[in-house]
Structure 1
Amino acid sequence: MENFNETRAPALEESVGAAIRELRLREGLTIAQVSELAGISRGMLSKIETGSTMAGMDTLARIARTLGVAMSALFSKYDATASTAQHVKHGAGMEVVRRGTKSGHTYHLLAYGQGPVKLFEPFLITIEDDSQRYPTFQHPGTEFLYMLEGVIEYRCGQQTYVLEPGDSLSFDGEVPHGPENLVQCPIKFLSIIVYPRNTE
């Protein structure tokens, strides 16, 4: 009865669960962290990941938002017929949680990874005021910043750069970096992280 090219096609629940688990592990997040941010129980998330149960669309949307992907990414292993282009309308970038969120940074993701490997992440980052301490970031790949509004002193390693609208800065993401001083708020800039390709 299960003669589909000698292997059984995975059920939708299994495909969605496997995609969620893969995305979670890729971000280095635990079940506890994702379940708390998504507002669901650890047990429910565990069942979803193993394909034991299928979550409702609202729950899947919250999980996708927590993982910083479009909900369609959760179905990528089940239905691979997706467009190769993404069009995000003005103001429609998905707001996601990142480490700087606790420091008052707002992150809008401007494109959503569709394949099994994250190649790049483009963010629109907004900082409204100077009331919080600034985090330091490190990550794989190369980061490119482009200033849109405001003035910021941005530290990269031992150097500090004053960035004004129209300025850009690119650097190795492994070098500690982050805001040093918010000179003129509000501040808006594009941050595009290009991840290294795995050439194994």
Structure 2
Amino acid sequence: MHGNKAYTEIAPRLVGLREAVDMTVDQLAEKIGVKPETVALYEEGETEIPVSYLKDVATVCGVDLSSLITGQEGHLHDYTLVRKGEGLSVERRVDYDYFNLAARFTNKMMEPFLVTVPAKDLNELTWNEHNGQEFIYLLEGKLEVWLDQKRHKLEAGDSIYFDSRIPHALRGLDGESATFLDVIS
């Protein structure tokens, strides 16, 4: 999903899910560790909704992340096979391309994505932090990974595993995009 359409489709599902589990905005905010204003903002459907936030809401409310993203329950329990180019496109960040590689699998313990990050200037970095852990395996290009104020340069075949609560930002290097496998738990 690309553009504001993703936000407007997911936001009502967030509201409906919260109401279905009989939680107020304040209660949900407390359970996932964000401010009530953040919950309200994402439920309005006018701004980017990070997949890490969606994952936290899904976990707290006892549903599969795929149901929030697609509006349909995942239905595969044993395995899911995703062919090249067939991952579910997810609007996580405006400037990144994310494809969920296990959207149809239920009760996931991790979320695997194929991500492409463009080259950008340092002043254009988009910072993120969320609960859980993250594993990045670089497939193509060169990637700069910032973990707080520490900069790490990865080349194809390199990987990094980190605590996602550390503020982090990514960018492609040498004027080129970088593509990587990103697994979030």
Q: TM-score, normalized by length of structure 2?
A: 0.60
Instruction: Report if the CA contact (8 A) 1:135-1:178 is conserved.
Output: yes
Contact in 2 for aligned 1:68/1:97 (Cα 8 Å): no
Name the SS for the 2:73 alignment partner: helix
Could you tell me whether the CA contact under 8 Å between 1:157 and 1:175 is conserved in 2? yes
Unpaired stretches in structure 1, ≥5 consecutive residues: 1-16, 38-63, 77-81, 195-200
1:114 — aligned with what?
106
SS in 2 for 1:68: helix
Flag the 1:143–1:70 CA change in 2: closer, same or farther, 3 A.
farther
Shift of 1:180: 5.4
2:88: which partner in 1?
A: 94
4+ runs deviating over 4 angstroms: 22-30
Please list the CA deviations of residues 106-140 of structure 1 after superposition, one character each: whole Å capped at 9, or x if unmatched. Answer: 1111112523xx62111111124437922111011
Once the two structures are overlaid, the 10-residue window that deviates more, 183-192 or 137-146, is 183-192
* 2:135 alignment counterpart: 144
How far apart, in 1, do the equivalents of 2:174 and 2:152 lie? 12
1:185 matched residue in structure 2 = 176
**Contact 2:118 2:172 survives alignment (8 Å):** no
Partner of 2:148: 157
Question: How many residues get paired?
Answer: 138
Instruction: Name the CA distance, whole Å, in 2 between partners of 1:187 and 1:155.
Output: 14
The answer on whether the counterparts of 1:152 and 1:179 sit within 8 Å (CA) in structure 2 is yes
Partner of 2:45: 33
Compute the displacement of 1:155 (Å).
0.6
Structure 2 portions without partners, runs of 5+: 1-12, 22-27, 49-65
Whichever residue aligns with residue 85 of structure 1, its letter is: Y
| RMSD of aligned alpha carbons | 3.5
Q: Choose which of 156, 162, 167 in structure 2 pairs with 1:176.
A: 167
Question: TM-score by structure 1 length?
Answer: 0.56
- Give the superposition deviation at 1:159: 1.4
CA separation in 2, counterparts of 1:174 and 1:128? 23
Aligned partners of 1:68 and 1:109 also within 8 Å: no
Name the amino acid aligned to 1:95.
S
